Amino acid sequence: MRKYYLDNIRWLTIVCVVIFHVIYMFNGEAKAGVVGPFKDVQYQDALQYLLYPWMMILLFIVAGMCSRYYLEKHTVKEFVKSRTVKLLVPSTIGLFVFQWIQGYFNMQLSGAFDKIEAPKFMLYPIMAVSGTGILWFVQTLWLFSMVIALIRHFEKVFSIVLALIRHFEKGKLYGLCGKVNIIVAVALVIPVYASSFVLNTPVIVAYRFGIYGMTFLLGYFVFAHDEVIERISKWSVPLIILTALLGGVYLYLHFGDNYAENPTFNSIPAIAYAWSACLAILSSAYKWYNRQTKISSFMTKRSYGLYIFYYLPLSASAYLLTKYTQLSALTIYLIVLVCGFAGGLLLNEIISKIPLIRWAVIGISKEKKDVQR
């Protein structure tokens, strides 16, 4: 039976990601590669503080859970092939087929064209690499998926040498994880906090391999158990209240700081708020939104495509509107928001109908099946 609450968490979180980047494009704290603020103090920037800590962590948890479900019904070979086509191809080949356009606007926003002293023929590969942008998530998810695939593969190929791994992964460890209750689930914030300090890339801060790897594995080992989700769902209301309180504390302590860099993004208030939010959303969605509606069905089928495409119309409209118009800030926000959603969905509809291009850009080689991914 399909777990609709995971579909709903995924597409709703991607909606939050789009909204976040509309605010981000004009924010006054994380200024690299954005248009910049309309004025010195912008209270609407508070929204990005409330979204940033938990959005991607939650997506990695859900991805870990879905990886477990997929591997229960498919072979490791099928898993590797599926994830490679779905994730690696769009974030490598897709850069040169389509995302170089995003790279152009990224470089315009950052003023990179004025700083680069390179032959013109080198601009295309530079723009392609610069077009990675939000696809860091796709690349990182592929890497974590391959780690899981290696564990599953070596369990079978080297059953004697890696008996301990098999014992843990399929035996006591996975069974033990299924006994996690609300107290343990909340206490998992400790390893999540510890992981936030390791494997962080120094320049491109989005690649936080430590915390994202940890939460992906927690999704795979812990939250893939239906009984664990069932237990924490009984605490949905207290978790929502706790999240609201922790979010207020985090915002009070860090508003005005660069939320996307150390020491803010791995501070105790940030991680505590992020983990509480993830538990609250998982439990609430399971309890109240484990069903399919016309809207959720529509968005579930298009959420991945929306994620792949939304940033191009969003960033392009932000750049062009601020460069060539004198519209009010509110008007620009609204236009950019509409461009992000409508443009992303429209690009997905168009490109998903072009066989070779859709394989390279979205990782779709044929009609998608209704499976839990």
Residue-wise pLDDT for 218-241, tens only, equals 999 999 999 999 999 999 999 999
Distance between CA 42 and CA 28 in Å, rounded?
7
Q: Is the pLDDT of residue 155 over 80?
A: no
In a domain, 343, yes or no: yes
Provide the whole-model pTM. Answer: 0.90
Q: Which domain covers residue 235, as residue numbers?
A: 4-91+132-361
Distance between CA 23 and CA 45 in Å, rounded?
6
In a domain, 108, yes or no: no
For the record, the structure tokens of 237 come out as 């209301």
In a domain, 179, yes or no: yes
Q: Is the pLDDT of residue 173 over 90?
A: no
Distance between CA 248 and CA 269 in Å, rounded?
10
In a domain, 306, yes or no: yes
Angle between helices 329-338 and 4-24 (to 10 degrees): 140
In a domain, 114, yes or no: no
Distance between CA 251 and CA 50 in Å, rounded?
7
pLDDT tens digits along 19-47: 999 999 999 888 777 888 999 889 999 99
Domain count, the chain: 1
For the record, the structure tokens of 335 come out as 């236009």
pLDDT at 14: 97
Place of tokens 């494009």: 25
Residue 319 to residues 79, 316, 327, Cα–Cα distance (Å) = 39, 5, 13
- Closest Cα partner for 262 from 197, 179, 166? 197
Q: Is the pLDDT of residue 116 over 80?
A: no
Please answer whether residues 270 and 195 qualify as being in contact, where contact means their C-beta atoms are separated by less than 8 angstroms.
no
Task: Specify the DSSP class assigned to residue 46.
Answer: H
Place of tokens 């309890």: 287
Which three-class secondary structure state does DSSP give residue 77?
Answer: helix
For the record, the structure tokens of 187 come out as 């206490």
In a domain, 177, yes or no: yes
Distance between CA 61 and CA 144 in Å, rounded?
11
138 Ramachandran zone, left/alpha/beta (phi>0; psi -120 to 50): alpha
In a domain, 178, yes or no: yes
User: What residue type is 197 in one-letter code?
Assistant: F
227 Ramachandran zone, left/alpha/beta (phi>0; psi -120 to 50): alpha
In a domain, 256, yes or no: yes
In the structure, what pLDDT confidence band is assigned to residue 359 with cuts at 50, 70 and 90? very high
